[in-house]
Structure 1
Amino acid sequence: MSTDQSPAPETSVPTCYRHPGRETYVRCTRCDRYICPECMRDAAVGHQCVECVAEGNRGIRRAVPRTPIGARGSTSAVPVVSYTLIAACVLAYLAELASWRVVWEFMMLGRGLLPDGEVGGVAEGEWYRLFTTMFLHQRGGTFGITHILFNMWALYAIGPALEQVLGRWRFLALYVLSGLGGSVLLYMVGAPSASAVGASGAIFGLFGAFFVVGRKLGGPVGPIVVLLVINLVITFSVPGISWEGHVGGLVVGAVLAAAYAYAPAAQRRLLHIGAPLLTLALLTALVVVRTAELSPSVG
């Protein structure tokens, strides 16, 4: 008696969903698709495919790196603000070399007679001089080109380190407000016709900030103290240097840095924003008062 034996059914071998030519019996624990060793990613349980891993990573909120004082860690190692400020000062210096009027029209001047016979200065409504002066430098005179060379060297030497710790906007606010502080002190206590140019007020602000932040973080502050002392001695012993600009910048820079570095964590964001705004408001009020004193009375 013969029996009819039918052939066994063919069974297909599973292959990787991304590489159809590769046999595999491993499935992704999330989507259940077959994956080859190249497409496997270790998971808490079993393995997952590359697409499921990527999908899971998109749902993870990554922590933003912070510096010791709470600033966002920069994703770039390039100190953009420091280099931009250096470039701005160099371009302004080249403009000075091209035309002497650049200095007269943008230097710090309380109230005085300009070469064209007109009376100008901050007291005459030219408030921009309080800011533009920090980008100008002497073309000749006692110091010549060494004026801009020293200031740009100092900005290059300590600016990037401060920018990294403070973050870009805090560093920029500190630099500009320090320069403004130097201009305002000269405006307040100097002769009305006193004039000045240079980034020295802002640079002294960086010196003060470097010392304060260094003390807070436990870093070496001896070199910056020596540099600061030497420059203060030069400031008060060499004729023609605006001590008001240097001291004003130093005080503002140190105070702002203290607000940045010593702000309690709970109020850090509030103080980091409020301190520059309060400083700007105070300096503005002083300028308004001094302008009222220098403006000619009406009637």
Structure 2
Amino acid sequence: MKIGKIKLKGKAILAPMAGVTDFAYREICMQMGAGYAVTEMVSAKALEYEDKKSFHIAELDDKTRPVAIQIFGDEPKTMALAAKKLMKYRPDAIDINMGCPVPKIAGNRSGSALMKHPELCGEIVAAIHKAVDVPVTVKIRKGWDENLINAPAVAKICEQAGAAAIAVHGRTKMQMYTGQADWNSIKAVKQAVEIPVIGNGDVTSGEKAAQMLKDTGCDFVMVGRAAMGNPWIFDDINQYLKAGTPAVKPTLDERIAVIKKHIETLCGRNGENRGMREARKHVAWYFFGLKGAAECRRRAGELSVLDDLYRLLDDVYRMNQEE
């Protein structure tokens, strides 16, 4: 199971998600069985201007490999320069964001807006491919809207420009994250190119992952929103692909231990003040499905120091302790 010269540890990949797939969460997901991960997107323009926050997002360590750093932008030269600068972190690959649908990205001709300019997509891939000696991958969408569904054509152009793999989200830009992902669009890309294809969209369990692989012929599955607060999904996918049965759900003790480790790692890296602000959303996601979840999510939004977290988790444990 390879992308270029990268040997993946499995077929399940952690998707890039801004504000979610940070250093600490990638580490947790890799430990839970993710075979590969992609960082939060980083602005190529910001890297050109030596923005410290952007470089901080891109920092890697050997606990979370293999991993790609994802960049976004719309200027081939700027993107190539950014990719070169990121080589100091020794990424296993550089991933190009051609799928982000949010207005502040797509509104500036970056992200999914690139789907409207297939030739530019190829120019960006070619420039980065020439600039770095690691595989260059691309994440695209089904298309811009229902009148411009061109994922197979864009994928082919990217392949010809040197892309080592293509990830396809089966929704258009205009759909954002609503409706159902069109897995047929992933299948169409797989039939259009020779390089590995990564399917993305509505993979919410091991069973769904197996179904996507079967229905589309894609080589890997990418998990995004379904992994928020649920890193155990990677264990479930691996177990289902291996044995055809779901993984055993984590116990309450295991859930709390993972939450602690995640947030402690986050604070250790970013400092307790900033780390706890970033932790609030993660902690709230972890509580879905537990007793008292609504009140616990409210309290998660007020976390300021690690002791706040420990007190909250003690209360969660008492409310959900198995008899």
TM-score normalised by L of structure 1: 0.26
- Quick one: higher RCO (CA 8 Å, sep 6+), 1 or 2? 1
What's the TM-score, normalizing by structure 2? 0.24
